[in-house]
Chain A
Amino acid sequence: MSYARWFTIYGPSYLNALGWTALTAVLASLGAVVWGCVLLLFRLAGGPWGARGVDAYMQAFRNTPVLLPIYLIYFGFPLIGLPWPAVICGGLALVLQNGAYVSEILRGSFKAIDRVQFDAAKSIGLSPWHTFRKITLPQVLVYSIPSLGNQVVLLLKDTSLLSAITVTELTMQAKLLTEQTGAAYEAFMVVAILYLILVSGTEVLFRVAHRAVRWR
């Protein structure tokens, strides 16, 4: 079967799956950045125990595959009375893991901020919270744009793992179509191309954002 024909027949179901992949990736990325900021705040303001806790958290997630937290939440939460939809469970796992990496990225950027700015913030009477929110965080986020772009691409690709817990995103859709039609690999070819487009789009988006910052 030609790809053109394939697409006219199965286009709508791909589109639906594409929506789930994109939605999960966008929301989980936002969640991961927010969670990464919270972890950075713990590290900066949580005293020695805060820093140690964040370190342990980071090592734990850095040295285990993301499938494990996905399974842990998907299979574990119903046992403790939280029967959440699969996509929420998977999304949460992606947030928890990528948040660990994001906080490391942000920490790297934090070192690039000129220390003297904190003297200036003190001298105009800014509270620690306002200093973090108005001075530290905006600069840290902007310096991190390129690395955050890489992380978002990784997260986007990892949404394919949610097919293992029944989320009908792109990869799952391709599997279903393969089983339905008995086709060999055409369905995955189409999905691979869609991922390539999504990944390239994300990269372009972050490059544009990086260039759009006027104050550097």
Chain B
Amino acid sequence: MDTPTFLLLLKGAGVSLLLALAAIACGTLLATALAALAFSRLALVRTFYRLYIYLIRGTPLLVLALLIFYALPALDLRTGPYLAGALVLTLYVGALFAEVFRGAVLAIPRPQWESARSLGLPPLAMLRKVIGPLVVRYALPPYVNVCVMTVKASSVLSIISVWELTFAAREIIERTLAVFTVLGIAAGIYFVICFGLDRVGRRVEHHLMLKGFVGEHV
């Protein structure tokens, strides 16, 4: 394979990574808001949360992407596939992150809540000093997992004509028929990104553990 092709794949990888990082960042924000809804006092709000999760998890990402891709022009929002792609990826992983956060809050042992309350801490301090760190501790491993899933899921956007790594790879193999080399390299790049993310996640976890921030390994 020639250098320009390889560079093309690398460029595609850059786009994939950017898309994934954008979705991870926005998805995390969305998830924080969503997870707060899950613990609302109002049954209606909790039902909204459950419905959102149910709809997102019950539909393939590709179908969501096509829905939004075709619906946006209909709503007369003139956007390219990139914005539609980033938006759908955010909505999708937002639901996954929200479930991670909700699970982490539920995993906090009851005595921790009780002792925090018994100290008479104001709600915000309690959140920052007690609940926050515990959520981080329980959420970190599955959070990293969802980050890896985000990178992989971004490949689906190639089908709605978002030009990224998988799109580039398919374009090249249809032109050159160098199927095994090109897909092999693309797979290698994805592997490096995903495996790397996983390692970084473990590093962070280890680091936090050393600082005594997240306690013993869970």
Chains A and B in contact, CB within 8 Å: yes
- A contact residues vs B (CB 8 Å cutoff): 59-60, 62-68, 71-72, 75-76, 79, 153, 157-161, 163-164, 171, 174-175, 178, 184-185, 188-189, 191-192, 195-196, 199-200
User: Top 7 A-B pairs ranked by shortest CB distance?
Assistant: A65-B155, A63-B194, A184-B74, A160-B60, A157-B60, A65-B152, A199-B58
Report yes or no: A63 in contact with B166, Cβ–Cβ below 8 A: no
A interface secondary structure, majority: helix
Distance between Cα atoms of A71 and B168 in the complex (Å): 13
B191 contacts across to A, CB distance below 8 A: 59-60, 63-64
List chain A residues, Cβ under 8 A from B154: 65
In the bound complex, residues from chain B placing their C-beta under 8 Å from that of A191 are: 63
With contact pairs A68-B155, A185-B74 given, residues A171 and B58 touching in the complex (Cβ less than 8 Å): no
Binds A, one of B39-47, B107-115, B122-130, B180-188: B180-188
Q: With A63-B190, A65-B166, A75-B173 as given contacts, are A200 and B58 in contact (CB-CB < 8 Å)?
A: yes
Q: Is B6 an interface residue (CB 8 A)?
A: no
Give residues 191-214 of B contacting A (CB, 8 Å): 191, 194-195, 198
In the assembled complex, the CB of B189 is this many whole angstroms from the nearest CB of chain A, namely: 9
Q: Measured between alpha carbons, how far is A60 from B57 in the docked complex, in Å?
A: 25
Contact A63-B62, Cβ < 8 Å, known A68-B190, A164-B159: no
Query: What residues of chain B lie closer than 8 Å to A171, measured between beta carbons?
Result: 60, 62-63, 66
Q: Is B83 in the interface zone, CB < 8 Å from A?
A: no
Interface pair B194/A71, CB less than 8 Å apart: no
Name the B residues within 8 Å of A157 (CB-CB). 59-61
Given A63-B198, A160-B63, A184-B74, 20 other A-B residues pairs in contact with their CB atoms under 8 A: A63-B190, A64-B191, A66-B152, A68-B183, A71-B179, A71-B183, A72-B179, A76-B180, A79-B177, A79-B179, A157-B60, A160-B60, A163-B62, A175-B66, A184-B71, A189-B67, A192-B63, A192-B67, A195-B59, A196-B58
